[in-house]
Amino acid sequence: MEIKILAIVVTYFPEKELLEKNIAVFINDVDRILIWENTPDEKKLEYRFIDNTKVEYCGDGVNSISHALNYAWRYAEANGYNYLLTMDQDSVFEDFKQYLDYTLYNNSLPEGVWGPNISSKEIPAKKVCDDPFWEFKSPLGVMTSGMLLYLPVISQLGGWNETFAIDCVDQEFSLKARRMGVKEFTINTILNHHLGNPREINFLGHQVRLFNYSPLRYYSIYRNNIRLIKMYPEEVYFKEFFISRWIGSIKWIFLFEKHRIKKLYYIFKGIISGYLENK
């Protein structure tokens, strides 16, 4: 079977140097790249940094990540591609050719949801073993950035849930895969991922990580996590992770983040909204 890879990179006011580095790593090993512009229309031209015949700019205004991924899936089906690579704007593979060797050219790797070993300044990658891949066992699911999928696998899962706009898009996709018996695999290739603008402080001898999200982003995070807990009650580890990470973060938001009252109000709204919404 001829391998044809479509890549999609979702951008929002991208940083020029980082985006160029991101795409340069894999552009020679894929057949086409869609850059989905979530940057508002009046600003888009200022952020079109990549000029290459393989690159096509697309998008229909500021929209959700899940909508962009479903667009790429349908585009791939309509244009004869059989694999889809999904990327954030702020991630860079250390060795993309190795990633392909461990996935597409590895006859021992079953089809499923494939994702690289994610590393960031805040959360370094953990080398579980020396094998090229291992079955993924994390409550967070395989992250969207760096995910490589065979199109029939996407079709089996029905694509991405567009009621999840930004937060929990990848978690919902992974939890759906688990429920349907589609396995997830971590590939032993590093993807360096930048996690926005978190801040670390020292509090009574302990390092505390502040996410510094906007009130609306906190609303989205808490709302969508609650929705996932309702949708996938069998995933007890996901519920435990939410309680330990996000409920545990509320005290740090109250103590150390700016605009704390507004943020706590939106967190409360998000939790209530998540409980009240239908699946």
User: How would residue 137 be classed by pLDDT, with cut points 50, 70 and 90?
Assistant: confident
Domain boundaries, the chain: 5-193, 199-276
The pLDDT score that the predictor gives to residue 111 is 93
The dotted CATH code for 5-193 is 3.90.550.10
SS3 call for 172:
helix
Separation of alpha carbons 89 and 135, rounded Å: 26
At 113, which amino acid appears?
V
In tens, the pLDDT along 76-127 reads: 999 999 999 999 999 999 999 999 999 999 989 999 999 999 887 656 666 6
Choose among 66, 108, 74, 85: nearest CA to 26: 85
Question: Which position has the token pair 């991630």?
Answer: 91
Half-sphere exposure of 87 (CA within 13 A, CB side): 32
The pLDDT score that the predictor gives to residue 200 is 72
Long-range contacts of 229-235 (CB under 8 A, 24+ apart): 229/274, 230/274, 230/275, 230/279, 231/172, 231/175, 231/279, 232/175, 232/179, 234/179, 235/139, 235/175, 235/178
Taking the alpha carbons of 190, 196, 199, 205 in that order, is the dihedral positive or negative? negative
In tens, the pLDDT along 193-248 reads: 876 666 777 777 777 777 889 999 999 999 999 999 999 999 888 888 888 888 88
pTM of the model: 0.91
